[in-house]
Structure formats: C-alpha cells, structure tokens
Amino acid sequence: MKSLFSHFLRLITLLVLVAAGTFILLSFSPVDPIRAYIGNDLLHVPPEQYARIAARWGLDQPLWERFGHWFWRLLQGDMGYSMLFNAPVASVIRGTFCNVIRAAGRRLAIVWFPGRGIGFSGRTFSQPLAG
C-alpha cells in the first residue's frame, strides 16, 4: 500500500511539473496571443481595446498568478475555451478521445486475432518440417 501511495504521489508531482513547464514555455512563446486572435485587423484596434482584451484574458497578471488561476480551474474541471475549434476544450478532447479509442480498438482487433491464431498454430505444430 505504501508503494502504491508513493507511485501515486510521484505521478501527481510529475503531472504538476509537466503542466507548469508547458505553461511557462507557452508563456515565453514569441507569438502574442492577442495578435494571433485579432489577425490582420491589429492596425484597426485601438490600444485601449488591446489593453481590455489583455485584462480579460489575464495577460496583465504575473506568470505565477496566471498559472495558479489556470491550475485551479483545471482542478475544477474547467479546461477553458478553444478559439481554434470555437468550443470548450473538454468537448474537443472528448470528441478526439472517442475517435482515438475507437481506432485503437480496431487496430487491436486486426492484430490480436491473427496473432493469437499464429501463436496457437506455432505451439501446436512446433515440430520442424521433415525433409
């Protein structure tokens, strides 16, 4: 039981470190998220609007505070909203996850049944061919 708890604790620590590392690396990305969102219309956006968008998205806060808010929402099950898919991130992952599991099941069935047959026949006919 102690070993199971220590493995679980190491898993949680690893997941938190990966999440923090990914968050930090993405925050140092050369792409400005507001410029990516607005696109070519950046010349038509007044600086006040740019500042309002940054405040609404929390980009005016320190990095550790943004990570804390993001991680707290993640623990509550809120993964945010995907601007690329125009949908909640959880629903995007759910749809993709179902397709991945379905495809993996098909591949497993394609490989598993012939593999079992070949294995059983190899065990049954393990005698070398008489020459």
Per-residue pLDDT for the chain (131 aa), expressed as one digit of tens each?
789 999 999 999 999 999 999 999 988 988 888 888 887 776 678 888 888 988 988 899 999 999 999 999 999 989 988 888 889 999 999 989 989 999 999 999 999 888 898 888 888 877 766 55
101 phi and psi, to 5 degrees?
-65, -40
Domain boundary among 38, 56, 78: 78
pLDDT of 53 reads 87
Q: Kindly state whether residues 66 and 20 are assigned to the same domain.
A: yes
Q: Is 106 exposed, middle or buried (0-12, 13-18, 19+ CB in 10 A)?
A: exposed
pLDDT of 129 reads 61
Q: What is the pTM of this model?
A: 0.65
Tokens (6 digits) for 80: 């945010």
Count of domains in the chain? 2
